[in-house]
Chain A
Amino acid sequence: MNLRTDWLDEGLKHVLLLLGSIVVLLPFYLMLSYSLKSPAEIESNTGGFAGSQALITDPRCVKAGRPAEECTMRPVVYNYTAAFREAPLLRYMLNGVLVTVSIFLIQVLVALPCAYALAKLRFWGRDVVFGLVIFCLLIPVHAIALPLYIMLAKAGLTNTYAALVIPWTISVFGIFLMRQFFKTVPDDLIDAARMDGMSEFAIVWKVMLPTAIPALLAFAIFSVVAHWNDYYWPRVVITGDRDLMTPPLGLRMFRSDLDGNEYGPMMAAATVIVTPLVVAFLLAQRRFIEGITLTGMK
């Protein structure tokens, strides 16, 4: 009896979870599938997941006067070579790495001492400052985009890496997250470090940082995902220089440059762009979930 109701219960839960995962995974499935198929198969919606992989001929290649053998290939090869040929994908990804890594490092450099001060030091006006941090969490980026842009433009920084990085270096979310985590670190540990002769800065980097690794990893994922995928801000400050474009901006290149039916190469490019994030997430998955649940600890 009991066993059967358990079965039903578990079954229902799994059906719900399956439905949820389908909703989440379907776009990725389509992206991957399109990046493998030929244009004709995409248009007629045939060929299952991977398509028939029958040889196709690139009409533009033929038009360019190249021999037919050179222009005939498998759809998957065509899509991915086109992705890398039509746009400097590697360059975009390098930009993405440069920008996200520098944003994250500077964010940590700023957020950790701030969070430490807010969590563990007693000073006049601390609660007000923390209130301001919370308040800043509520401000949408888009609301301050224009003044930010004007400031950067006046400083002559548009179309530079600096324009991509500087506005994000102070992460109130990071300060908030780390402050919440630091609250759970026992005061005794900090006092012990003081007795041992550490300065307050040394405490931040040598005691708080190592104990906060899980929280920091969670923050890293939030930060890196947000800025790797950010389309809005690069679109605002990178106006001319294609060499500074980040991956999402690069994707846009396909939409405007290629003919309407070139979904294959576009999806191939999208696949290439999301892969590093997915791989990084899978590697850090356990620590990431630990980090998210951390704030609920204690």
Chain B
Amino acid sequence: MASIGLRGITKTFGDTQVLNAIDLHIADGEFLTLVGPSGCGKSTTLRIIAGLEAQTEGDVEIDGAVVNHVRPSRRDLAMVFQSYALYPHLSVRQNLATPLLLRDLGFWERFPLFGALVPGRRKKIETLGAAVRDTAGTLEIEHLLERKPGQLSGGQRQRVALGRAMVRNPAAFLMDEPLSNLDAGLRVHMRAELSELHRNLGTTFVYVTHDQAEALTMSDRMAVMLDGDILQLGAPDDVYQNPQDLRVAEFVGSPKINVLPGECDSAGRLSCLGVALERRLAKSADGAISLGWRPEHFTLHPGETSECFAGRLVYKENLGADVYLHAALADGAHRLIVRVTPARAHDAAVGDALWLDPDAGRTMAFGPDGRRLALAEDDEAERVV
């Protein structure tokens, strides 16, 4: 168990800077997810924590001690890779035992033939055999112990890879997209299992993924990364409900947040495509502002009003419990995605006119630089109107 700290971590490959002075503190026992599109530097960050990659500048701390020059194996971290990276020539049992053999046995004890003569070796082998069996039991892979990785399915390999990480009780787990090679159903199942494993082990997890759904479902906190910066760090709920940056708002959530160009007058009153929003910014802003609503922040209005966006239904995405209506707005340039219940969607047919009423209180306003702009408190807004 350990806390992990990154201070001013910078990484450059040649001329390109992939990490811009990352600061991050991961608490002991926390499940922290680094999430972002590919190429955002999340895997590099993880590899720097692991010690597989050297940072250009900055410090990595584990439990308060700087480990910049400590070899990966001495950092007492375990890593699970996207490709599982099991030793193909060793059986599952040997795969699980390898990290223990390397850690617990001395050089001479590992020496072929000669090693068997070293006193005390047999005892060690027995204890690590028991550790392997324990781990296999926890992950329910005992029946696979004698097989080679090539004879296992993707999900089974995934478990073995987890087992190889768990078997030596590391201070923290580092996971690099461990679920992205699994099929969709198994991925959802493993999400729940990983969360449970984290709860049972109580060890620090640092989890890298490009899948915002994994980040939202599993983590205690998630760090949204883009172009080598952490744009927002917070609880999944907070990141989803309260994105501090337009890019975060667009990355987190599926379907994507709806973004429309907005205007504000000198008093900060907001309007969008001619629809007045009865809200105003705490501080008036210059330049182009963007307004965002999640798909669930709209309601269908039965008839035409001036407070609604008028559009035409172009596509109906039925997911069973929810239906997403894709509407082309009357201005011809924008589209909205709206979540409704199947009952509400029942009558809507492609080509129908729709009036979409945005929940003004949920409006997220973003400045020209993409930063979130605060709305004035409700009572103030009313006063303005």
Does B99 sit at the interface, judged by CB under 8 A? yes
14 examples of A-B residue contacts, CB within 8 angstroms: A186-B85, A188-B82, A188-B83, A189-B83, A189-B85, A189-B88, A191-B72, A191-B81, A194-B72, A195-B50, A196-B98, A197-B74, A197-B99, A197-B102
Does B103 sit at the interface, judged by CB under 8 A? yes
Q: Are B72 and A195 in contact (CB under 8 A)?
A: yes
Of the candidates B50, B74, B87, which one forms a contact with A189 in the assembled complex, judged by CB atoms under 8 Å apart? B87
Q: How many angstroms between the C-alpha atoms of A191 and B78 in the bound complex? A: 11
Main DSSP-derived SS at the B contact region: mixed
Does A73 sit at the interface, judged by CB under 8 A? no
Chain B residues in 8 Å Cβ range of A189: 83, 85, 87-88
Q: Are B83 and A194 in contact (CB under 8 A)?
A: no
Does A198 sit at the interface, judged by CB under 8 A? yes
Chain A residues in 8 Å Cβ range of B143: none
Contacts A188-B85, A195-B50, A195-B72 known; 10 new A-B pairs at CB < 8 A: A188-B81, A188-B82, A192-B85, A194-B73, A195-B77, A195-B99, A196-B164, A197-B73, A207-B87, A210-B87
Q: How many angstroms between the C-alpha atoms of A203 and B325 in the bound complex? A: 55
Chain A residues in 8 Å Cβ range of B103: 197
Give the Cβ gap from B158 to chain A, nearest Cβ, in Å: 13
Q: Are B81 and A211 in contact (CB under 8 A)?
A: no
Interfacial residues of chain A within 44-96, with CB under 8 A of chain B in the complex: none
Of the candidates B79, B89, B102, which one forms a contact with A191 in the assembled complex, judged by CB atoms under 8 Å apart? B79
Q: How many angstroms between the C-alpha atoms of A211 and B82 in the bound complex? A: 19
Chain B residues in 8 Å Cβ range of A198: 73, 102
Give the Cβ gap from A217 to chain B, nearest Cβ, in Å: 14
Q: How many angstroms between the C-alpha atoms of A193 and B102 in the bound complex? A: 10
Does B70 sit at the interface, judged by CB under 8 A? no
Size bracket, chain A contacts:
10 to 19
Q: How many angstroms between the C-alpha atoms of A198 and B99 in the bound complex? A: 9
Binary interface encoding of chain B residues 62-82 relative to chain A, with 1 for a CB under 8 A from any of its CBs, else 0: 000000000111100111011
The verdict on A186 contacting B83 (CB below 8 Å), with A198-B102, A211-B89 known, is yes
What is the number of residues of chain B that contact chain A, defined by CB distance less than 8 Å? 24
| Residue in A195, A196, A210 with the greatest tally of chain B CB atoms within 10 Å | A195
Q: Are A195 and B78 in contact (CB under 8 A)?
A: yes
Q: Are B89 and A195 in contact (CB under 8 A)?
A: no
Q: How many angstroms between the C-alpha atoms of A207 and B71 in the bound complex? A: 19
Q: How many angstroms between the C-alpha atoms of A192 and B95 in the bound complex? A: 11
Q: Are A191 and B52 in contact (CB under 8 A)?
A: yes
Binary interface encoding of chain A residues 194-219 relative to chain B, with 1 for a CB under 8 A from any of its CBs, else 0: 11111000000001001100000000
Q: How many angstroms between the C-alpha atoms of A192 and B103 in the bound complex? A: 14
Give the Cβ gap from A184 to chain B, nearest Cβ, in Å: 12
Q: How many angstroms between the C-alpha atoms of A124 and B79 in the bound complex? A: 28
Give the Cβ gap from B101 to chain A, nearest Cβ, in Å: 9
Give the Cβ gap from B76 to chain A, nearest Cβ, in Å: 10
Chain A residues in 8 Å Cβ range of B88: 189, 210-211
Q: Are A191 and B73 in contact (CB under 8 A)?
A: no
Q: Are A195 and B73 in contact (CB under 8 A)?
A: yes
Of the candidates B82, B83, B99, which one forms a contact with A196 in the assembled complex, judged by CB atoms under 8 Å apart? B99
Chain B residues in 8 Å Cβ range of A192: 79, 81, 85-87, 164
B174 nearest CB neighbor, chain A only: A195
Q: Are B89 and A210 in contact (CB under 8 A)?
A: yes
Give the Cβ gap from A206 to chain B, nearest Cβ, in Å: 8
Binary interface encoding of chain A residues 166-183 relative to chain B, with 1 for a CB under 8 A from any of its CBs, else 0: 000000000000000000
Q: Are B52 and A195 in contact (CB under 8 A)?
A: yes
Give the Cβ gap from A179 to chain B, nearest Cβ, in Å: 19
Give the Cβ gap from A218 to chain B, nearest Cβ, in Å: 17
Q: How many angstroms between the C-alpha atoms of A62 and B86 in the bound complex? A: 71
Q: How many angstroms between the C-alpha atoms of A211 and B47 in the bound complex? A: 24
Q: How many angstroms between the C-alpha atoms of A193 and B77 in the bound complex? A: 13
The 6 closest A-B pairs by CB, nearest first: A197-B73, A210-B89, A192-B85, A197-B102, A188-B85, A188-B81
